[in-house]
Amino acid sequence: MENNIIMKLLLSQQEQDPTYKTKYPGGENEYNEQFFQNCITTESKLHLDKYEQEQNDINKMNKLPFTRESFLDLFTDFVIANNLPMVFSSNNVMLERLLQFSNRSNANDEKTISYNSMLIPPSNTKLKELIIEKHKNQKKLVKEKLKQQKYINFTTDLWKSETSKQKHSYNSFIIIDILYVTI
């Protein structure tokens, strides 16, 4: 378990917090690797592993170049992952203020926000282009993955739901699941 993220966080806190021994007397001896080994269950290990993977993904982002392209790529992923409308970024002054605030550590004076034009959210048109491009790339990856499979199972579901109080006004939906087993 030497790579477990919880152990890393605990050791990091012990190293960085000069009051750790005062706050948690005996903690450096009590909360050790053996303690965490004893606490881990099959269920908690899944959560810890997922958390560790998320942290590894965050660490990978730290290695991204600080460029407009990287920002737009992350911004687009954020919009897609949260099912946000494309108008989310358009003329959103509070969003832009938040992004510029996050950049203030680059300023000479921490009380001054250093404006960085690279952190301006994309226009609706640009965001639409980025989302379509990501969709095309994802579609290619899925096609390649499916070509490698020996057997594929498709299941579908169709339904419709009323859109308003007017009669015969419906939205139609279809879902297609593709299942395969990798060996």
Q: Which has more pLDDT, 72 or 38?
A: 72
Residue 73 has pLDDT above 80, yes or no: yes
- The answer to whether position 73 is within a domain reads no
pLDDT at 110: 56
- The answer to whether position 6 is within a domain reads yes
Please name the residue that has the structure tokens 């299942």: 179
- The answer to whether position 42 is within a domain reads yes
Query: What is the C-alpha to C-alpha distance for residues 151 and 178, in angstroms, rounded to an integer?
Result: 10
* Four-point Cα dihedral 31, 33, 39, 41, nearest 10: 160
**Percentage of residues in the chain with pLDDT exceeding 70?**
72
Q: Looking at residues 74-100, what average pLDDT do you find? A: 88
Q: Look up the domain containing 55 and give its range.
A: 1-63
Split into its structural domains, the chain has a count of 1
- The answer to whether position 56 is within a domain reads yes
- The answer to whether position 3 is within a domain reads yes
- The pLDDT tens digits of the residues spanning 22-64 come to 766 666 566 666 666 666 677 777 777 777 787 777 777 778 8
